[in-house]
Structure 1
Amino acid sequence: MSARLRPIAAVAAIGVVALALAGCVPNPRATGASTALDVKVADDSCEVSASTAKSGTVTFRIANTGTDVNEFEILADDKLRIVGEKENITPGQTVSYVAQLNPGTYYTACKFQQVGQPVGLASFTVSGEEIESDASEKKQISAAVTNYVAYIKSQVGALVPATKAFTDAYRNGDDATARTLFASTRVAYERIEPTAEAFGDLDPKIDYREVDADAEGLDWTGFHRIEKDLWPPAAGDKNSDGTDALAGWAASTPAERAQFADGLVADVAQLSELVNAKDFTVGIADISNGAIGLLDEVATGKIEGEEDWWSHTDLTDFAANVEGAHVAYGIVRDIAKNKDADGAKLVKTIDARFDDLEAELAKYGSIDGGFTPYDEVTDSQRKELSDAVNALGKPLSQLTHTVLGVKKA
């Protein structure tokens, strides 16, 4: 987290209206086939009766045979962006969910108790012609808001149990396990960090670095306080600002570990309560600005190795920021593309720059498989990563102006 970044506005209310890709209500003027599929949901499985469909209206008949509430999701080809979902399917209940799907690769999954990682993730291919739609920009915006709010909730839903597992290991002195969980636990948070930044002091509690907390006179808590315990400095080591790493710091006692663990769990739980509140929403500018802000996080902290100073897991945070930015951009992409010729040109450029940056990152690993420790990445390699970030940052900075139809001065 960079203390130089400011929160985005969090609650600019926009009415929620479904659009074809949002998968809620079909457009009566849309063209395409009509498909009906069965979905069998259990606590540990999610089975769709077919893995293909024709473009157009797809009806999913979802039966929950499990022991608790579940939800059904349709994900985009990045396996992150939610393009449709049916929540709150109770045990024994069968519900119908209608989606309008254009050709492309999607993924279906369920989420037991509506938290944690997707269950039964499976490829779902839609073939045929593009759907003709009379959807207005207002409906596109409403659908974008619906989809991004769903994405935020999904990521926080994964963050809650991951944080509990990580802090349990730390609290119990199982540092080896906690170290293996540190980077992966942070992924969901880093994908949606601008949302947490919008809630006042939550991001400082969860994700401030030592130098940020000191600069603002705050108690230092959260992930990075725990990180320093898990990778303790030695004599002569320096903090990211060049000060003595041991000055004013000592390894936490078991009681202090319990306090830091409880605090982080409570703060993440509060974030979950806030994003799941009935009145939680975002504005369309928040989505596009979120994409820009996430890339700024990379440019102002991760690229210098300042974020995860002791663990050197910066590239995982880097990749999560980029993924989150790509998802946010993907949700408003068509709005920008359909503005005018300049919007279409901008989208083409951003698409290419995302591909370049993700290819550059892939040289060092992946979120699932792990990344090269950042202290092993040479200065010249960091320069190549920085160049790719900057090449994307320039066109991406124009996204909000394009989405809102405002010419940039």
Structure 2
Amino acid sequence: MRPARLTAVTAVAAVAALTAVTGCTEKSDGKGGGNTVRVTATDDTCEVSEKKLSAGHVELAIENKGSKVTEVYLLFPDDRIVSERENIGPGTKQKLTAEVKAGSYDIACKPGMKGDGIRQKVTVTGGGKTAKRDPRLDKAVAAYREYTQEQADATLPKAKAFTDAVREGDLAAAKKAYADSRIGWERTEPVAESFGDIDPKVDVREDGLEEGQDPAKDWTGWHRLERALWKDKKIGAREKQLATLLDKDLLAWQKRVGKAVITPTSMANGAKELLDEVATGKVTGEEERYSHTDLVDFKANVEGAQKSYELLKPVAAENDAKLAKELDRQFAALNKLLDKYREGGAGSYEFTSYEKLGKADTKELSDGVNALAEPLSKLAAAVVKTK
């Protein structure tokens, strides 16, 4: 999972800005009931209004009454993620729609976005409505599953070009291959994160390590190597070992992608998560703080979100034509804005180094992300809506 890639101060500021613009502070009648679970999070508690649910679509109506930024997860017993909502600011409310089958689950609140979270067990029974869902949604899930596997398959050779350069001690070649090696991961990150144990190995920032972890021993993955290449400007024996470990961890991801639990709502929520990633990491320059290749990640996140939307669009547009029209407009606007910073021509992933952007540039990008994130937060509800 990716808790706390940001500093606490940056996270609070980013969430405040996002919720102010995107409408993530949703209104709620606070009653719950049915398959709606009120989740009330504080700095040391996680209360749920219902612990017995019917299979089908469930809505978590989340309120953070604590003083820390939190995140809420719906988890399988083995800690795989069914769905999640990150970066929930103090005093704000959010809604999360998920699709669940009969079984046992955990709802976890993570104040400060750290650790295993404060957990409540819930039980889901019955067949629910999932068996009757629109066949177009089954087709969308199948297509998205194929897409995520394709992205993982394509990442491995690109990552090997990067890690080979590290093992050879070729600083320039490693820098050149770094950003390209991350595109497939960034497009499909919510699926990779659903396994729980892969993301902390390959994509965590130093300030995202858990309390008690030693950066010298426990920090692995892309960003550890990024620091060596751009900040330390040297490749040693440790970096070469980490390159081989990155290959191993990415191979595990590639082999497990096909087993990921994917539903129409997880696709829709994943698209929103990708925009949140942009808002709280890429636009702030936190993600690629040494290489400043944030715009490559930014573009890949947007592409991944757009892929989910386009696959779900036949149903979403039928259920909410106005929403689909707005999403089309905002995706087009954000892609056009990103093209301003593309340096290698149409289709190229060579973008302006992020530290060269001025305040007006970053604000324009942030506004574009927020304009898309607001309607995108409604996609899951549109997918499950019945006429």
Count of aligned pairs between the two proteins: 264
Confirm or deny: 8 A CA contact 1:12 1:281 kept in the other structure.
Answer: no
Match for 1:393: what amino acid?
A
Q: How many angstroms apart in 2 are the aligned matches of 1:209 and 1:6?
A: 21
Among 206, 212, 221, which residue is 2:208 paired with? Answer: 212
Confirm or deny: 8 A CA contact 1:210 1:225 kept in the other structure.
Answer: yes
Aligned residue in 2 for 1:346: 323
Bigger drift between 370-379 and 5-14 goes to 5-14
Confirm or deny: 8 A CA contact 2:2 2:193 kept in the other structure.
Answer: no
Aligned residue in 1 for 2:279: 299
Q: How does 1:63-142 map to 2 (within 5 A)?
A: 138-142=134-138
Matched, 1:273 2:255: yes
Matched, 1:263 2:245: yes
Aligned residue in 1 for 2:382: 402
Q: 1:209 to 1:406 in 2, by over 3 A?
A: farther
Deviation at 1:338, TM superposition (A): 1.2
Aligned residue in 1 for 2:108: none
Match for 2:332: what amino acid?
D
Confirm or deny: 8 A CA contact 1:319 1:361 kept in the other structure.
Answer: yes
* Structure 2 spans left out of the alignment, 5+ residues: 5-70, 74-80, 84-97, 102-131
Confirm or deny: 8 A CA contact 2:169 2:235 kept in the other structure.
Answer: no
Aligned residue in 2 for 1:321: 301
Q: 1:357 to 1:402 in 2, by over 3 A?
A: same
Aligned residue in 2 for 1:78: none
Aligned residue in 1 for 2:82: 9
Confirm or deny: 8 A CA contact 2:149 2:254 kept in the other structure.
Answer: yes
Deviations 1:203-222 (A, max 9, x none): 01110011112557361100
Aligned residue in 2 for 1:228: 227
Aligned residue in 1 for 2:192: 196
Q: How many angstroms apart in 1 are the aligned matches of 2:210 and 2:298?
A: 24
Among 362, 375, 387, which residue is 2:355 paired with? Answer: 375
Q: How many angstroms apart in 2 are the aligned matches of 1:13 and 1:276?
A: 19
Among 157, 179, 184, which residue is 2:180 paired with? Answer: 184
Confirm or deny: 8 A CA contact 1:145 1:281 kept in the other structure.
Answer: no
Q: Find the residue that maps to 1:9 and give its secondary structure.
A: strand
Q: Find the residue that maps to 2:3 and give its secondary structure.
A: coil
Two-structure CA RMSD over aligned residues (Å): 2.4
Q: Find the residue that maps to 1:173 and give its secondary structure.
A: coil
Matched, 1:384 2:367: no
Q: 1:348 to 1:12 in 2, by over 3 A?
A: closer
Q: Which has the higher helix share?
A: 2
Q: How many angstroms apart in 1 are the aligned matches of 2:302 and 2:277?
A: 9
Deviation at 1:386, TM superposition (A): 0.3
Q: How many angstroms apart in 2 are the aligned matches of 1:263 and 1:287?
A: 29
Confirm or deny: 8 A CA contact 2:295 2:353 kept in the other structure.
Answer: yes
Deviation at 1:3, TM superposition (A): 2.1
Bigger-Rg structure (1/2) = 1
Q: How many angstroms apart in 2 are the aligned matches of 1:276 and 1:399?
A: 24
TM-score (norm 1): 0.61
Q: 1:221 to 1:326 in 2, by over 3 A?
A: same
Confirm or deny: 8 A CA contact 1:13 1:281 kept in the other structure.
Answer: no
Aligned residue in 2 for 1:108: none
Q: How many angstroms apart in 2 are the aligned matches of 1:376 and 1:216?
A: 36
Q: How many angstroms apart in 1 are the aligned matches of 2:134 and 2:212?
A: 41
Confirm or deny: 8 A CA contact 1:288 1:329 kept in the other structure.
Answer: yes
Confirm or deny: 8 A CA contact 2:82 2:261 kept in the other structure.
Answer: no
Among 152, 156, 161, which residue is 1:160 paired with? Answer: 156
Identical amino acids, percent of aligned pairs = 41
